[in-house]
Structure 1
Amino acid sequence: MDQLRIKDLEIFAFHGLFPSEKELGQKFVVSATLSYDMTKAAINLDLTASVHYGELCQQWTTWFQEESEDLIETVAYKLVERTFETYPLVQEIELELKKPWAPIHLPLDTCSVTIHRRKQRAFIALGSNMGDKAANLQQAIDKMQARGIHILKESSVLTTEPWGGVEQDSFANQVIEVETWLPAPILLETLLEIESEMGRVREVHWGPRLIDLDLLFVEDQIIYTDDLILPHPYIAERLFVLESLQEIAPHFIHPVLGQPIRYLYQRLKK
């Protein structure tokens, strides 16, 4: 991937835990590498396919000085977040924020934090069987977009029978493909926050729910923790999930089973 590097941009601002840092301010130094395809910009002189580094440096300075944060981790994270929001063509960012005047009263050249984020594609299953089901699905999608999760594709909305043996109303289900720079665990936390905001209460396992957001895949990542299992463990057992997946991504290969979605769908449908 092509890269734009910006090194040692100095910005005077008022970030830090100590009152003196917020009152007197200090110098910070920003360096970053932005990865994106420069082909159109280079061949066609297409400025919309490029990042104006002068404007970007000015934007960083403005964003940097807008607020006063306690932690440089917060400042660096917000710079990465706003850069992704402002420049959709950027696929990956590694940003280092140095604090050369850190008040520790010891011999120190500088301290710094580095945040590295890359855009990834993920698949999310949505379901609802309470209230206005279709409206619930759309509201969840709107909330994802408001958090910077870019919707790439949406499957049709299916009416499906409940899964899991609990007697309840039928579901409206669909699957969406998204692009996000959030790491998989943070993406899951974001989905759970949206469920909570919309009023989901987890009372009965596999019971009725206003909204259900399941993280199915994050590219080809395989994760097994107490909080997150990827790929979602029930994908190959749920026909309605496979039907929606094969509509928008029939050739995506399940990273554990090693089979394309269309094959898993046809096998379960028999």
Structure 2
Amino acid sequence: MKSRERVFLGLGSNVGDRVKNILSALEELSRLGKLIKVSTVYESEPWGVEDQPPFLNCVVELKSPLPPKKLLAEVKSIEKKLGRIERTRWGPREIDIDILLQDNLVYESEELKLPHPLIEYRDFVLIPLLELDTNLINPKSGKAYKDSLPKIENRLKPFCCIRV
């Protein structure tokens, strides 16, 4: 069985105290394993539903032995604990935590797809992800994620840095 310990998670917030929401999520995620790195926190325009406040986004590398289904359950529990209210898809969020990659695992269920299928299309995911590891490969396609950079528009504004 392949190792599932190296996990990349995308975090986003555009409701309430966005910085506090991101910091609280990091604190909760550290209970699921060891936080290895956190990307720069960027401010980004909404994606999908544009009539909403800007987001703060970052990507986190976590070392965790949890299998995908259990990790997803834990992430959803953290979102709920931190006050996330379910609204429209791609709408405003107190906190959003997406599992982007789990080592080289290709996994598909109704609730979760790994690798996350939209990594290459979202500047607020791809740029901070590559900031943590420029050599990441999409385990499904075999293509380097950095090859997608020229295809996206970078609309990110660096906001702050968090050290772990």
TM-score band by shorter chain is 0.7 to 0.9
1:10-49 pair list within 5 angstroms: none
Match of 2:35 in 1: 151
Post-superposition offset of 1:119: 5.6
Instruction: State the Cα deviation string for residues 21-44 of structure 1 (Å, max 9, x = none).
Output: xxxxxxxxxxxxxxxxxxxxxxxx
1:233 pairs with 2:121:
no
Structure 2, unpaired ranges of 5+: 155-164
Q: Structure 1: how far apart are the matches of 2:147 and 2:153?
A: 10
Match of 2:104 in 1: 220
Structure 1, unpaired ranges of 5+: 1-115
Match of 1:122 in 2: 7
The answer to whether the Cα contact below 8 Å between 2:45 and 2:55 also exists between their aligned partners in 1 is yes
1:209 pairs with 2:101:
no
Q: Structure 2: how far apart are the matches of 1:151 and 1:162?
A: 27
Q: Structure 2: how far apart are the matches of 1:223 and 1:117?
A: 12
| Partner secondary structure for residue 194 of structure 1 | helix
Q: Structure 2: how far apart are the matches of 1:119 and 1:232?
A: 15
Could you say which structure has the higher helix fraction? Answer: 1
Q: 1:118 to 1:242 in 2, by over 3 A?
A: closer
1:55-74 pair list within 5 angstroms: none
1:103-252 pair list within 5 angstroms: 120-145=5-30, 147-252=31-136
Query: Structure 1-normalised TM-score?
Result: 0.54
Query: Structure 2-normalised TM-score?
Result: 0.88
Q: How many residues align?
A: 154
User: What is the one-letter code of the residue matched to 1:229?
Assistant: K
Q: Structure 2: how far apart are the matches of 1:149 and 1:244?
A: 20
User: What is the one-letter code of the residue matched to 2:12?
Assistant: G
Identity among equivalent positions (%) equals: 35
The answer to whether the Cα contact below 8 Å between 1:162 and 1:171 also exists between their aligned partners in 2 is yes
The two structures, once aligned, show a CA RMSD in angstroms of 1.8
Post-superposition offset of 1:184: 1.2
Instruction: State the Cα deviation string for residues 35-79 of structure 1 (Å, max 9, x = none).
Output: xxxxxxxxxxxxxxxxxxxxxxxxxxxxxxxxxxxxxxxxxxxxx
